[in-house]
Amino acid sequence: MKFVFFGAPGAGKGTMAAKAAVAFGLPHISTGEIFRGAMREGTPLGLQVKALIESGGLVSDALTIGLVRERLAKPDAAKGWLLDGFPRTIPQAEALVSFCPEDYVIDLTVSDAKVLERLSGRRMCRGCGRSFHTVFMPSAKPDICDDCGGELYIRNDDSVESVRTRLENYRTQTAPLENYYRSRGTLVSVDGEASADTVWSVLETVMERLLAGKKA
Ligand code: AP5
């Protein structure tokens, strides 16, 4: 089955999609992580998008759509996928429908106050990309990833200025997708405000029902 994880910056898309990937055996495809990987490795793609991403802007539709189209054509995505961070504009959503339509869109709803609280304490692993939070999801050893032992760092686009730009882009360019998906009948809202364990337990049940062919 094909799921899009949708929501504001910091809503918990990456955290929940990572859990769902393990629970349901579907590949977790994060456009943000693809771009960050390219930036880490200093590839031409990484160099091209670095300044834009760090300032909180959106990468062009043409570039992002091309990357996702290529990724979804890989064999591991043949039986389904969890898309995280894509689509985030109407042209991206229309492109996805044209080449590989979603079954469901999981809309993680959170308040702006929660977003700010989560992004200000987020720490990411340089090695595997897992995210932690200094208060809500601390690593066992300070600044070391529990999974791969990699160094934890603060994303440049989690600065106060970039978060403001990302939230503004979300409101103007991404939030309108809610109505788009509501009218396609694929939008499923899940309250993302509670603790990660609580959100995951609700989400897991919702996804099990959807996979069993029942509307949540
Ligand atoms: P991307 O990485 O997709 O950033 P984003 O959408 O802003 O989302 P985040 O990664 O900030 O948040 P999240 O919802 O995944 O939250 P997380 O689980 O980490 O994209 C980065 C950039 O790449 C974009 O700004 C853009 O420039 C570019 N880009 C990417 N896709 C693009 C596209 N399609 N088109 C154009 N440009 C694109 O959680 C946040 C924190 O909260 C973590 O610390 C976590 O541990 C904690 N947390 C999570 N859930 C909970 C909970 N329930 N309770 C307490 N803490 C929690």
DSSP string, 9-70: TTSSHHHHHHHHHHHHT--EEEHHHHHHHHHHHT-HHHHHHHHHHHTTPPPPHHHHHHHHHH
Model pLDDT, residue 71: 97
Both tokens assigned to 57: 């802007």
Task: Kindly give the residue spans of alpha helices, DSSP state H, lying in the chain.
Answer: 13-24, 31-41, 44-54, 61-72, 90-99, 112-120, 160-169, 177-184, 196-211
Shortest-distance atom of ligand 1 to CA 137: 46
Distance, in Å, from the CA atom of 143 to the CA atom of 110, rounded to the nearest integer, reads: 27
Model pLDDT, residue 2: 97
Model pLDDT, residue 46: 97
CB 104, CB 24: distance < 8 Å: no
Q: Which of 18, 47, 8 is nearest to 169 (CA)?
A: 8
Model pLDDT, residue 214: 63
Q: What is the CA radius of gyration of the chain?
A: 16
Model pLDDT, residue 128: 87
Model pLDDT, residue 189: 97
Both tokens assigned to 193: 């405000």
Model pLDDT, residue 120: 93
Sequence ranges of the domains in the chain: 2-26+79-215
Q: Which residues are catalytic?
A: 13, 88, 122, 155, 166
Both tokens assigned to 80: 């389904």
Distance, in Å, from the CA atom of 67 to the CA atom of 49, rounded to the nearest integer, reads: 13
Q: How far is ligand 1, taken at its centre, from the CA of residue 11, in Å?
A: 7
- For 2-26+79-215, which CATH class? alpha beta
Distance, in Å, from the CA atom of 200 to the CA atom of 94, rounded to the nearest integer, reads: 29
* Dihedral pair phi/psi, residue 30, rounded to 5°: -110, 120
Residues with CB under 6 A from ligand 1: 7, 9-15, 31-32, 35, 53, 56-59, 64, 85-86, 88, 92, 118, 122, 131-133, 136-137, 157, 166, 195-196, 199
With b meaning 16 or more CB within 10 Å and e meaning fewer, what string describes 74-86? eeebeeebbbbbb
CB 2, CB 102: distance < 8 Å: yes
Residues facing 3 on adjacent strands? 82, 104
Q: Over its length of 216 residues, how does the chain's per-residue pLDDT go in tens digits?
A: 999 999 999 999 999 999 999 999 999 999 999 999 999 999 999 999 999 999 999 999 999 999 999 999 999 999 999 999 999 999 999 999 999 999 999 999 999 999 999 999 999 998 888 899 999 999 999 999 999 999 999 999 999 999 999 999 999 999 999 999 999 999 999 999 999 999 999 999 999 999 998 655
Protein residue with its CA nearest to atom 39 in ligand 1? 12
Distance, in Å, from the CA atom of 64 to the CA atom of 35, rounded to the nearest integer, reads: 9
CB 204, CB 210: distance < 8 Å: no
